[in-house]
Structure 1
């Protein structure tokens, strides 16, 4: 009697009805399970790719080739501190239409001058900023590993972007896009952000 009420028909549930219900329920469970597994796998793959990109940025920063860029920037920074180079002359090399007479610096023994090495650092920082903003690299891991290292050149690079901006404002020019990205990544990766307040 109970079966007849549940089925809603005078004949009640037949074996065929039970099989159809079980089949439909099984199909729903299989579909949901497939979606969940696909979602978990996709999430796992993104995390693996993110970790790989983070490692690649760190590996590049500490590579022999990139160490030459960092060393060159250190040389340029020291020249500015000693008055042997002028930040505005350096910045002119990055503003369209105003690069005449810009500071290119010395050839560093690898076929590149100081300006070219600076280009490579600025390009790296722009790529790093993009990867962090799109969550393609782990910001915390990068800050933990690179933050202290970037502090050496942080003020110099921020002075460079400020000088570029100043030249643009004075000459009614468009600001180079790298300024915003470099400032953003230096702020995000500042080693001061990871220190607890005392």
Structure 2
């Protein structure tokens, strides 16, 4: 009975969490924002959220002692999205998510380590995003160009954007809008056909990849 009440309370909180702006933080050394990484279910064909990256999203830095610093910097962090093909489907089975990372061109690397930051870098404090999907357990990072598609638009910190996912029987459409609802860019990812393509668990902020957050990283969300 206690377990059922806990699930009901979690669903209630998840369904109401984005009614107003809320900044969520992955603490240093963590991947998730909470001990219960459950954010509710979705059944709509189209879902949207407004997001705002804080400065921490563009400035997190792995120490020069970390032998995986370069790999972890280039890894994609999960921003927001949902699973496909049923409420109990794992995000590693069938899912669609927007992902992000700090622009790596402002960093210096040596033998896999991050050894410094470039002064006066033109892309400082910018964010890269991508469309990132699992399809029948095929991994996006092993299928770049089909299940992982980068947006050319670079996002500014402290600015609001709207991200939208349109779930269809054999594909998902990813849309990025500015604060004025002007469409900036679209990506599409093809999927296997499944009867319950509109049904799935919501997915939220997750840092990594390979490594937990080297410092606290925050992103703000608001209901679209």
TM-score by length of 2: 0.21
1 or 2, which has the higher helix percentage? 1
Q: Which has the higher contact order (CA 8 A, sep 6+)?
A: 2
1 or 2, which has the higher strand percentage? 2
